[in-house]
């Protein structure tokens, strides 16, 4: 190989440039740029109403953007959305399983939408029943499934065409911890097999565990885009001290002069973000105040970048 | 993008149609019993009860006249119900369409599939009445079989019109308006229960502007052993209603769902 050749950069699996969507004069997505590489897990993190779902819908060709350029799996969107959807899988925020069918019939019918036929279809349906651990419930109606089972079936359904990319809108919202861990396990398996994932979530833990890179979106704009570790490194002090209760608040109020920390306080709860924890912990120990010392995490970054006030 | 783009027709509607057929097959026995039971009741109650009073209409015994009318009205009712209540349920309540849109199906495929499914159900129910009519000796000859493709086209027409109503509907209640203001008047004015000549000229003129009368004008002769006249005209009216319905419904549903 000619050493002067530039290293070959793989084409991005999804790319958005200057994406804009307005509803009735309100800008919901405001010039968003995103690049998702093959095989990576890319997260869209943001408060409710930040524009995550609208962005996903545009990526899938289900909502036409007002401005901007969009390509998914090399296909221009929305012009060739059908061709792109042939090669990707979708896990919507709310289940769209077919209540007129059993578990197996749901997969069978969905395979038909993709043009799968005969033995190939039967084989794929069997594989996915096993993947979703729903073999024993194959003939159960959808109404008889638990929330976790429905989510697993929805995920299995999204894999019917062996997609190169799976798009998930809040895949674990409303699930109990066991079901959530099971979904994460499935998603990690997909990543291992080279499938790229784009997911929206407002669970920081989910984003931190799964995503290689993520974009924090607020009011329709990307406010930061990087790996979870880099986001924590660049946007927030490494140490966090959590204080709560009236005694601690009284101690805080009594502090004259500048604290060697950035303070955020709401009611009886206070968070101290600091570069060096030792001076503060020493002072707290001396005053006999209970505190929790922990490393900064993605949630701290998220709250710093999107603000602490309530959304909705 | 223009405000009323034409629907993009594709054979991808087939999996949508097949999905509905698969659901229908699960409840096939009660469906078929309903298809047979209701028209038999109508024919017996109206035909024997009412027919005694009416006697013959020209050359035709009232039962024979009525049977061909009920074949047509049943096609209208079945397709309208399917295009409204059932399609709306799949669109709005069950989110079946949303699931389909996650596959390589477009909204245009779904709308076309739903309308052709409504036409298929119209064919099932009208076909069942044809069988009943044949058993009761109300059909003259094999020409009656030619009514079936006409019924299918009529089902497409009424299914497409119903889909427009579905596209603008915010709840099930809205469908009642369409039944009260369109379907029922059409039923009463289109020569299903009595000949059109009984109506005042102005009312008859209105009836001729609606599709059902044109269905009756083709189907009735075919079931009573005659050849219908002005077939191209009648077929064109039915077809135009169907195609305009498909186009408008697709445009409205795109605006509703793909925003």
Residue A87 contacts residue A165 (beta carbons within 8 Å): yes
The residue ranking higher by pLDDT, B211 or B57, is B211
Mean pLDDT across B80-107: 95
B104 at the A interface (CB within 8 A)? yes
Residues A111-141 pLDDT 10s: 999 999 999 999 999 999 999 999 999 999 9
**Do B104 and A112 lie within an 8 Å CB cutoff?**
no
Average pLDDT for B122-140: 92
Cβ-defined contact of B15 to A113 (cutoff 8 Å): yes
- The alpha-helical segments, DSSP class H, found in B56-183 are 62-81, 87-88, 96-101, 107-135, 147-168, 174-178
> What whole-number distance in Å separates Cα of residue B169 and Cα of residue A40?
42
The predicted structure's pLDDT at residue B39: 76
pLDDT score recorded for residue B84: 96
- Cβ distance of A62 and B26 shorter than 8 Å: no
**Interface-testing mutation among A61, A100, A150, with chain B (most B C-beta atoms within 10 A):** A100
Partner residue opposite A92 with nearest CB, options B18, B96, B98: B98
pLDDT at A7: 59
Given pLDDT bands bounded at 50, 70 and 90, which one contains residue A232? very high
* Window from A271-275, B17-21, B51-55 with minimum mean pLDDT: B51-55
Percentage of residues in chain A having pLDDT higher than 70: 96
Q: What is the mean pLDDT of residues A188-208?
A: 92
* Predicted pLDDT of residue B33: 86
Least confident of B12-21, B52-61, B148-157, B195-204: B52-61
pLDDT digits (tens, 9 = 90+) for A77-108: 999 999 999 999 999 999 899 999 999 999 99
Residue A23 to residue B259, Cβ atoms within 8 A: yes
Half-sphere exposure of B227 (CA within 13 A, CB side): 4
Q: Where are the domains of chain A?
A: 237-295
Query: Which DSSP string corresponds to A225-269?
Result: EE-HHHHHHHHS-SEEEEEESHHHHHHHHH--S--SSEEEEETTE
How far does the CA of residue A309 sit from the closest CA of chain B (Å)?
Answer: 29
Q: How confident is the model at residue A255 (pLDDT cuts 50, 70, 90)?
A: confident
Residues of B with Cβ-Cβ distance to A153 under 8 angstroms: none
Contact A92 B103 (CB under 8 A): no
pLDDT band at B44 (very low <50, low <70, confident <90, very high): confident
Q: Mean pLDDT, to the nearest integer, of A71-82?
A: 94
Q: Locate the domains of chain B by residue range.
A: 13-257
CB contact under 8 A, B103 and A113: yes
The reported pLDDT for the residue numbered B4 is: 61
pLDDT at residue A6, rounded to an integer: 57
Mean pLDDT check: name the lowest of A109-113, A256-260, A270-274: A256-260
Mean pLDDT, chain B, integer: 92
Please answer whether residues B223 and B68 qualify as being in contact, where contact means their C-beta atoms are separated by less than 8 angstroms. Answer: yes
Lowest mean per-residue pLDDT among A163-172, B1-10, B96-105:
B1-10
Q: What is the pLDDT of residue B1?
A: 45
> What confidence tens digit (pLDDT) does each residue in A9-26 have?
678 999 999 999 999 989
Helix or strand holding residue B224 (H, E): none
Q: B94, B99, B100: best mutation site toward chain A, by most A Cβ within 10 Å?
A: B99
- CATH 1.10.150 for the A237-295 domain, yes or no: no
Q: Name the pLDDT band for A227 (thresholds 50, 70, 90).
A: very high
Q: Which of A103, A99, A98 is nearest to A139 (CA)?
A: A103
E strands, chain A, in order: 14-23, 26-36, 41-45, 67-72, 75-76, 88-91, 165-169, 196-201, 213-218, 221-226, 239-244, 262-266, 269-274, 292-295
Share of chain B above pLDDT 90, in %: 78
Task: Choose between B38 and B65: higher pLDDT.
Answer: B65
Count of Cβ atoms closer than 10 Å to residue B114 Cβ: 30
**Chain B partners of A95 at a C-beta cutoff of 8 Å?**
95
Lowest mean pLDDT among A127-131, A270-274, B42-46: B42-46
Annotate A268-281 with b (16+ C-beta within 10 A) or e (fewer).
Answer: eebbbbbeebeebb
């Amino acid at each position: 190989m000619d050493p002067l050749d530039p290293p070959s950069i793989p084409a991005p699996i999804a790319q958005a440039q200057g994406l804009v969507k307005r509803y009735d004069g309100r800008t919901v997505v405001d010039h968003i740029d995103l690049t998702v590489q093959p095989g990576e897990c890319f997260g869209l993190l943001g408060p409710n109403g930040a524009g995550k779902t609208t962005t996903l819908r545009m990526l899938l060709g289900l909502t036409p953007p007002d401005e901007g350029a969009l390509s998914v799996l090399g296909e221009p969107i929305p012009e060739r959305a059908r061709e792109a959807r042939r090669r990707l899988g979708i896990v919507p925020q709310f289940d769209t399983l077919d209540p007129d069918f059993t578990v197996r019939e749901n997969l069978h019918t969905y395979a038909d939408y993709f043009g799968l036929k005969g033995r190939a279809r039967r084989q794929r349906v069997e594989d996915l029943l096993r993947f979703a651990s729903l073999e024993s419930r194959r003939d159960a109606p959808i109404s008889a499934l638990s929330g976790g089972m429905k989510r697993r079936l929805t995920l299995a359904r999204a894999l019917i065409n062996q997609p190169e990319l799976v798009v998930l809108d809040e895949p674990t919202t409303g699930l109990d911890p066991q079901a959530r861990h099971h979904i994460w396990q499935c998603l990690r398996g997909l990543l291992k097999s080279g499938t790229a994932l784009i997911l929206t979530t407002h669970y920081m833990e989910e984003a931190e565990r799964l995503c290689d890179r993520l974009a924090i979106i607020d009011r329709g704009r990307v406010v930061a885009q990087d790996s979870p570790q880099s986001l924590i490194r660049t946007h927030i002090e490494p140490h966090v001290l959590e204080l709560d209760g009236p005694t601690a608040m009284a101690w805080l109020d009594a502090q004259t002069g500048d604290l060697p920390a950035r303070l955020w306080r709401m009611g009886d709860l206070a968070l101290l973000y600091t570069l060096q924890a030792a001076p503060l912990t020493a002072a707290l120990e001396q005053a006999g105040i209970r505190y929790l010392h922990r490393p900064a995490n993605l949630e701290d970054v998220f709250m710093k970048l999107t603000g602490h006030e309530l959304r909705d | 993008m223009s405000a009323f783009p034409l629907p993009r027709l594709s054979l991808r509607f087939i999996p949508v149609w097949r999905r509905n057929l698969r659901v229908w097959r699960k409840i096939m026995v009660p469906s078929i019993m309903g298809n047979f039971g209701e028209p038999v009741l109508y024919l017996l109650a109206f035909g024997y009860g009412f027919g005694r009073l009416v006697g013959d209409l020209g050359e035709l015994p009232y039962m024979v006249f009525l049977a061909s009318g009920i074949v047509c009205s049943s096609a209208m009712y079945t397709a309208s119900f399917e295009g409204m209540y059932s399609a709306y349920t799949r669109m709005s309540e069950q989110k079946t369409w949303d699931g389909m849109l996650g596959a390589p199906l477009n909204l245009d495929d779904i709308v076309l599939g739903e309308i052709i499914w409504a036409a298929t159900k119209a064919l099932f129910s009208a076909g069942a009445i044809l069988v009943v009519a044949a058993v009761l000796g109300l059909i003259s000859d094999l020409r009656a079989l030619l009514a079936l493709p006409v019924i299918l086209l009529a089902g497409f027409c009424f299914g497409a019109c119903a889909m427009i109503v579905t596209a603008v509907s915010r709840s099930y209640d809205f469908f009642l308006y369409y039944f009260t203001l369109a379907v029922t008047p059409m039923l009463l004015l289109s020569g299903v229960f009595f000949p059109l000549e009984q109506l005042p000229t102005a009312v008859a003129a209105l009836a001729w502007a609606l599709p059902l009368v044109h269905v009756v004008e083709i189907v009735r002769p075919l079931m009573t052993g005659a050849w219908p006249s002005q077939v191209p005209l009648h077929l064109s009216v039915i077809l135009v209603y169907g195609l305009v319905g498909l186009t408008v419904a697709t445009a409205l549903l795109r605006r509703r769902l793909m925003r």
